[in-house]
Amino acid sequence: MRKHPFVLSSICLALALTGCGSSNSNSDEEIDVVETPTSKTITVIDGYLSDVTVCADVNNNQSCDDGEELGSTDENGQFTVASEYADYALIAKVTAGTATDADALGVVTNSYEMITDADSTVITPFTTLAVTSEQTMAELAATLNLPEDLIAGDYVAAKSSADTAYDATVTHAIARSLVEKLSSTVVDTDADSLLADAVEVVVAVEDYITDNGTDELDSVTLVEDEDESYVTETIVSDLGEALETQGEWRFGSTNTAHLQDEGIRLLTFIDGVSSLYTSDGTLKLSGEYSTHGSVLTSGSGDDAESDTFFYISSDLLLSVAGGSTNDLTFFYADSADNNSYSLSSVNADDLVDQTWYDVMDDSDSETVDLQVVKMQFSELDENGEGTITMNELGETDTTDMPYNFSQVSTEWGELTQFTIELTDEVVPMEYLVLYKNDDIMFLYETNRDKLEVYVKDKSLAQAIIVSVE
């Protein structure tokens, strides 16, 4: 426990008869020296994480409470902690749609928290493991069979040294994959489960290295798929390279008026030239393009238009369109072998007993009016029926709607359709999947030609709205 000067002074006054602080004290008696805390710089790392909120855990409850937020990290993932908070554990709140990771372009897509004790100058997945599992860094290093100095420090910086480059690259890859297992809050972390996950991640990275070496290790994240097997996801650090690697994209707008007028079209990027086609395969536009960071610029001079992508993965890009429309546009990879697009089944497990945030454009015109509606799906009853409890964010009123799944015949084969039942007088809302990953699902309303974007993380959904405003 820290001792403060005013506390010591009070004790001396209360015990004056004992000669506290007087010349009669024994010269051999040990005197406690009160060390004044100094400020310190903390670095928040998966890769270096910027725009992350740093909190001092003053009440030691592993939660960032009111009054404990200190500020946000800079572009290097660093924040200077004032002296009065230097002796407390620190929590990093990584918010989807706001925080960015130096490893990749775009925003972080899942919210999570990390923690470190008062003695550390880094906050990482490893410090989080150590604190939540109540292990020292030495004990954790032994558990994971990783170098203690790397998991306790800045493993990203250590990659620049020839002596530590290999181990640091491996450690970074493990940290990057472990982030996928972190909870939205530290206090909700299941320490035993997280530690078991960490051991599995270490094995998965080791297996990847055995099969592929380390040359491409910095460009992938190992994630667990639906079959609980680890697969690689490509990290996008160069927008132009990502556009050309995929080559063919499907392009469209979430604005209903634009979608119904223009449809979902083929867009290609080949050798520095982008080409946009109509749904019947006719070339509409073609010209040189350039990229800078997360910005795609088509054309040149007065005719140049730029799109800034805030969500970037190897097969999905989201941006706010340049020009006057300001609508939410998307590029996604589709295996369709023509100029159109393909739809697929809705997986009931993706919705039943889950919560999503529906980002929908509620406008009937080209004027964008995005809203976020929280969608809480119940379990299905014995008749295969469930209930969705909906409420628009910021509102208290809720609406319950029945939902179900059924098989339908389509041009893409027999598919599972997701249906929201409305009143008897209104045609039900029938959906198939246009695109999905772990963060986002594009549901195409087939009987109205409308598109809705389901987002798993509330903060990411809110950030999409902010980006369009």
On whether the CB atoms of residues 44 and 52 are closer than 8 A, the answer is yes
Across the range 373-380, mean pLDDT stands at 96
Residue-wise pLDDT for 328-376, tens only, equals 889 999 877 666 789 999 999 999 999 999 998 888 888 888 889 999 9
Instruction: Tell whether the model's pLDDT for residue 12 goes beyond 70.
Output: no
pLDDT tens per residue, range 280-289? 788 998 999 9
Is 386 in contact with 352 (CB distance < 8 Å)?
A: yes
Whether the Cβ atoms of residue 253 and residue 360 lie closer than 8 Å to each other: no
Fold classification of 348-468 is Lipocalin (2.40.128)
For the cut 50, the answer to whether the pLDDT of residue 9 exceeds it is: no
**Do the domains 239-332 and 348-468 sit in the same CATH topology, yes or no?**
yes
- Where are the extended beta strands (E) located within 235-327? 248-253, 265-270, 273-277, 283-292, 295-298, 305-312, 316-320
- For residue 430, what are the contacts with CB-CB under 8 A and spacing of at least 6? 408, 417, 418, 419, 445, 446, 447
Q: What confidence tier does 3 reach under pLDDT thresholds 50, 70, 90?
A: very low
| Domain locations in the chain as residue ranges | 1-35, 40-230, 239-332, 348-468
Q: Taking 60 as the threshold, does the pLDDT of residue 102 lie above it? A: yes
Q: In the prediction, which pLDDT does 308 show? A: 87
* Token pair belonging to 53: 């909120």
CB 368 within 8 A of CB 328: yes
Rounded Cα distance, 291 and 207, in Å: 35
Per DSSP, the residues of 18-34 read GTTTSTTS-TTS--PPP
Q: Under DSSP, is residue 324 helix (H, G, I), strand (E, B) or coil?
A: coil
Q: Which CATH class is domain 239-332?
A: mainly beta
Burial of 105 per CB tally in 10 Å (0-12, 13-18, 19+): buried
Q: pLDDT by residue (tens digit) across 20-49? A: 444 444 445 565 655 666 899 999 999 999
